[in-house]
Structure 1
Amino acid sequence: MKASQVILVAIGVVVLAAVGYMFTAAESPEAYLDKIEKERDRQFKYIRYNIESPLTEEQKRNFKTLDFYEIDPTYKVKARLIPIEDKKVREVPLTDGSVQRYIEHSYAEFELGGKTNKLLLLQSKEETDMRNFFLAFADETSARETYGGGRYINVRQDGKNSITIDFNLAYNPYCAYNPDYACPIPPKENLMDIAILAGEKNYSK
């Protein structure tokens, strides 16, 4: 066998091994569903029992469940990370009229609902892990099936130029449960004109 053929065979073996690893290491549908269910159970227990829960003691006594959309893997998207070169501090309005300061870090661009969407990723000025971001958004379900003030997702950069956004993990801000809390309002860039039928629905008292 010629040296060039040996190299080609070796490359082929490496490629096949990489593909095989990709399929074996990939999360199975069952494992994914289990992971989301566990996170939802954790959310419920926190809201129901934690001392820092936004619910009043009276609300806790009557609190039975959180309401979610069915888990839909199509709402887990891989987004292109588009850095903002001239990063600025934005004063994000809160529901009580005050403001909270975040860094405008980057945009996440992805395909969903038959169109290209681009959402602004914010980063807390106190964040110590530069791969963590805060995503506040509203969509066509807001004030209908979901909280009118929008929902949140905590996202983490998982590639050099990419980030995974899983809308199945979208959760309500504290003010959805108790108006005494002040919560960040989604920036205008994140008012989506498609329905995100994933994540937490509105809280019913």
Structure 2
Amino acid sequence: MKASQIILIVVGIVVVTAVGYMFTAGETPEDYIEKIEKERERQYKFIRFNIDSPLTEEQKAKFASLTFYDIDPSYKVKARLLPIENKKVREVPLTDGSMQRYIEHSYAEFELGGKTNKLLLLQAMDEADKRNFFLAFADETSAKETYGGGRYLNVRQDGKNSITLDFNLAYNPYCAYNPDYACPIPPKENLLDIAIAAGEKNYKE
């Protein structure tokens, strides 16, 4: 094989590897951490200053920070999307005893905590973008290090048969800050028997 052919092969491998990296990695670990930190800062500013914050004015005056687990990329998982063929409307109970209607759309199946887990993805009745889902879950940290009523994720389908669940972005419902709010309770399908030591911890005044 000529030297010029070898060079072309090497260049080709480098190009393929680079393109593969663009579509699989997409960002460096530093970029990822910075993205999560920016989202947490945005969340803090909303809770602290926004007129729609669940905090009362008295709470805002004393509010210093939100508490999170350390950012851990292992809690960003690629899940298999398992569609529900006969989609039904689910009446999800809220913390005040009322109900809110969602569509049972699909399940997200993923590996974490040394086992296969499956979570029900719900979709708001008036959701315009059919790739967006609401995920309410509770886990072994609930009522200990995290809010007892569970935590939420807003997730978006990013593949034909897959979806990314980033538990570093798990956040508390409004009722974790103020019991006057009514919040969806995680469905029984979403009570995990593993600890999700990622995302937001319990709010303490």
- 1:19 corresponds, among 11, 17, 36, to 17
2: CA distance, partners of 1:192 / 1:16 = 42
1:161 is the counterpart of 2:161: yes
Q: Are 2:16 and 1:34 equivalent residues in the alignment?
A: no
In 1, distance between residues paired with 2:129 and 2:21? Answer: 30
Distance 2:200 2:28 in 1: 23
- Single out whichever of 22-31 and 150-159 deviates more from structure 2: 22-31
Aligned residue for 2:195, secondary structure, equals: coil
Separation of aligned partners in 2, 1:89 and 1:65: 38
CA shift digits 1:84-107 (9 cap, x unpaired): 000000000000000000000000
Partner residue, 2:76: 76
Q: CA deviation at 1:24?
A: 4.7
Where do residues 35-184 of structure 1 align in structure 2 (5 Å cutoff)? Answer: 35-184=35-184
TM-score calculated relative to the size of structure 2: 0.92
Unaligned runs of 5+ in 1: none
- Opposite residue 51 of structure 2, the aligned amino acid is I
Structure 1 residue 19, shift from structure 2 partner: 2.5
**Distance (Å, rounded) in 1 between the aligned partners of 2:96 and 2:16:** 52
Amino acid at match of 2:143: A
The TM-score normalised by the length of structure 1 is 0.92
RMSD: 1.7
Secondary structure, aligned partner of 2:152: strand
What secondary structure does 1:104 align onto? Answer: strand
Runs (5+) with no aligned partner, structure 2: none
Number of residue pairs aligned between Structure 1 and Structure 2? 197
Structure 1: how far apart are the matches of 2:128 and 2:69? 32
Shift of 1:17: 2.9
Structure-2 separation of matches of 1:101 and 1:18: 47
Task: State the shift of 1:21 in Å.
Answer: 1.6
Q: Which moved more, 1:20-29 or 1:176-185?
A: 20-29
SS at match of 2:193: coil
Query: CA separation in 1, counterparts of 2:149 and 2:85?
Result: 29
- The one-letter code sitting in structure 2 at the alignment partner of 1:20 is A
